[in-house]
Structure 1
Amino acid sequence: MKVRIERDLLADGIAWAARALPARPVVPVLAGLRLTASAEGLGVSAYNYEVSAGIEVAADVGGPGEILVPGRLFADIARTLPREHPVEITADATKARVTCAGSYFALPLLPLDDYPATPLLPETAGTVAAAPFAEAVAQVAIAAARDESLPVLTAIRVHLTHDTLVLAATDRYRLAVRRVPWQSATEDPDRTALVPAKVLADIARAAGSGADVRLALGSERGRRGLLGLSGGARHATSRLLDNEFPAYEWLFANETTAVATIGTAPLIEALKRVSLVVTRNSPVRLSFGRDALRIAAGTTNEAEAAATLPAELAGEPVTVAFNPVHLLDGLTALRAPTARMLFSGPTKPTVLTEDTASTENAGNTWNTGDPDYRYLLMPMRGA
């Protein structure tokens, strides 16, 4: 193998593929990055039996070949090489040699014959704009659980319809749902997949700089389902979770008794200040009046804090207590200057949305619009 490539192109390609390098590989070869030199350029890929990531990078190939190099070490080397200088990579039967602007490295090769075959991308199901997709995944991923004891709660549910992707995640205490338009490539796209939230968020964030993302769903014989994402020269796959996501639409069916409208940024700032006195598992209390919101936390026996903000309330005054971290997560995920909170009582779920429609009341039927993003939050005791 003999390759000459720009340093920044190499570093960017390795950074994309390295997301599939396992922290603790079950077999040593999974710690490797596969480099494939061909007439098309340099391919860089990694695979850990659950996730794969690969990219084709423009390069001058003087001699084709395929090798497996220590992934983390090679990534560290690429990051530290001088910018705006070409990198030369050569390899023989035992070592890969990297030279750049007077720097030289020799890396032992890993046994390529022991490396597992990387999954092929399934058939494309449709296309979605990269930036809105990345934003949607980020808005939903905040509600996924971090505790691996219930794998289904660590996932994002991806539901495909003919013109919309519906993403949802929950950790039992909150639920985030986001719709994003897309273009289906099949006549019957109605399908659902459970993707590990951490994996999907990482891949979508990295792919968000492109124009479009092609989404693929399929399965391999004897294995769980497979999600594929590709855009430009980048591609990735993830194994799907084989679980049943909890039914959640009924949670939005509660009768709305009050709707509050308030500036998103001022509310976030006030919550952060008041939350300084919150102890573990303690709530912040939000008391909405006709034209103001009072935020309070703490007890008379400990530190206390409070803040008052202007707010608009349609309906009866309400006081609700929330986990401050969960509430801040939802507010931070909003992309509008004004937030709306829909209440059904102090003990029933509160729905947080962006203020995209006027609120009216006619016989207890509220016109709350049909927002693309909804963040449902369970109240805590302590109001």
Structure 2
Amino acid sequence: MEFLIDKDDLLSGILVAERFTAGKTTIPILSGIKFSAYGSTLELSATDLEMGIEYRVPAQIMEEGDIVISTKALSEILRKLPKGQVLFKQDGGQVRVESGDFYLTIPTLESDDFPEAVPNQTSPLIKLPKEVLKNMIRQTIYARAEDSIARPVLTGELLELKNGKFHVVALDGFRIAWRWEEIEGSEFSIVVPGRALLELTRAISAGEDFIEIHTGSNKAVFYTKNISISSRLLEGKFIDYEQVVEIEPKVTVVANTDLLLSSIERAFVVAKEGSKNNLIKFNIESNSIKISTESEIGSVYEKIDCDTSGEELLVAFNARFFIEALRSVEKPEIEMKFAGEVGPCVIRPLGVDNHVNFILPVRLRSDG
């Protein structure tokens, strides 16, 4: 195998692919990246057997072939090389890398032993603008469970198409984050690990217009023009999120998103030093929310003007849950519906139906 490639293009691909290699493994080849040079394209493949990637970069191919390289040292060296072309030439069990008067020789691994990173046989599910999917993931991913031995499915996100709407949903038992867009297609429902979706959003470049979602071999596969990413699917079912977020509000509040977020962030500085619930209190009165908290390092009190309708209410929440929900909102105002002191809060950007956050309260101890 022999090819010539732009150094920056190669480095960009390696840095993305390295995130899909196995960090700690007893299978050495999983710590490497497979270089496949055919036609006018170099394809970089990596997998940790949970998820995989194929990253395609234009190159001048003089001799076609496949090799597997451990790229830890290579990526560091590429960072320090000047801009320009880099030549790779295989010589037996090693590859020679040339850039000007610089020469590097590194050993290779047998490419025949490299596992399939992305399934060859898949069935298409949906095609949508890349930025739409990235935004839907960004506005929900924080609500997944970080670790759930009892229900591993909650560490992933639900992606499903039904009734002409594509839904992305995350939940951890205390909150739900839900986004949907109107998209026609055949109905499906899959749960993809949160880690894979985060890597997907990092890997997709700004130049990619559309992304296709496929399934095959019990995996989800995401295709763009230059990247293919696969992930195993999680087994299990999500609750009926559409029904759960339908509540009977006792009080409705419309507030400025940034003002409320800033106030809760200030209170969180104190709240996080107290209980693990990061407890803050909302005392909702006529056209105001009084936000308060206290811990060993002190106490916070702040009044925020807003529009309210319904009864007065004292309710407590995990400050971090509220902060993450509000940071996902792109509108200047939000509508919050509270179901009472022991009921949930449902948050929507004002005038927007397809972006929903559902947060359960923290029970306050009775003074009696």
Q: How many Å separate the matches in 2 of 1:242 and 1:77?
A: 41
Residue equivalent to 1:194: 191
Give unmatched runs, 5+ long, in structure 2. none
One-letter identity of the residue aligned with 2:143: A
1:171 alignment counterpart: 172
Residue 334 of structure 1 is aligned with which of 329, 334, 338?
A: 329
Structure 1 unaligned residues grouped into runs of 5+: 358-370
Aligned residues: 359
Q: Indicate which of 212, 215, 223 corresponds to 1:214.
A: 212
Query: Does the 8 Å contact 2:95/2:106 carry over to 1?
Result: yes
The one-letter code sitting in structure 1 at the alignment partner of 2:260 is L
State the alpha-carbon separation in 1 of the partners of residues 182 and 130 from structure 2: 11
Aligned Cα root-mean-square deviation (Å): 1.9
CA apart distance, 1:286:
1.2
Amino acid at match of 1:51: M
Given that 1:5 and 1:86 are in contact with CA atoms closer than 8 Å, whether structure 2 keeps it comes out as yes
- 1:121, 1:132 → 2: CA distance? 26
> How far, CA to CA, are the matches of 1:163 and 1:101 in structure 2?
56
How far did 1:380 drift? Answer: 0.4
Alpha-carbon spacing, 1:264–1:36, altered in 2? closer, same or farther (3 Å):
same
Q: Stretches of 4+ moved more than 6 A in 1?
A: none
Using a 3 Å threshold, how does the CA distance of structure 1 residues 36 and 97 change in structure 2: closer, same or farther?
same
SS at match of 2:143: coil
- Structure 2 match to 1:35: 35
Q: CA deviation at 1:162?
A: 6.1
Q: How much does 1:381 deviate? A: 2.0
User: Which amino acid letter does the alignment assign opposite residue 382 of structure 1?
Assistant: L
The residue aligned with 1:365 is none
In structure 1, the residue matched to 2:240 is 247
Change beyond 3 A, Cα 1:310–1:21: same
Does the CA-based 8 Å contact 1:128-1:183 persist in structure 2?
Answer: no
Q: Secondary structure at the match of 1:176?
A: strand
Deviation at 1:164, TM superposition (A): 2.4
Q: In structure 2, what is the Cα distance between the partners aligned to 1:322 and 1:175?
A: 14
The match for 2:279 is 283
Taking a change above 3 Å as real, the CA distance of residues 340 and 228 of structure 1, as seen in their structure-2 partners, is: same
Residue 361 of structure 2 corresponds to which residue in structure 1?
Answer: 379
The one-letter amino acid paired with 1:113 is: D
Measured after TM superposition, the shift of residue 77 of structure 1 is 3.1
Residues 2-13 of structure 1: pairs in structure 2 closer than 5 A: 2-13=2-13
Matched, 1:103 2:120: no
User: Which residue identity lines up with residue 6 of structure 2 in the other structure?
Assistant: E
Could you tell me which residue of structure 2 aligns to residue 46 of structure 1?
A: 46
Residues 156-189 of structure 1, C-alpha deviations (whole Å, 9 max, x = no match): 01112364210111111111111024453xxxx1
Return the match for 2:316 from 321, 330, 336: 321
- Deviation at residue 102 of structure 1 after TM alignment: 3.7
The SS at the match of 1:280 is coil
Please give the TM-score of this superposition, normalised by the length of structure 1.
Answer: 0.89
The answer to whether 1:161 aligns with 2:159 is no
Match of 1:303 in 2: 298
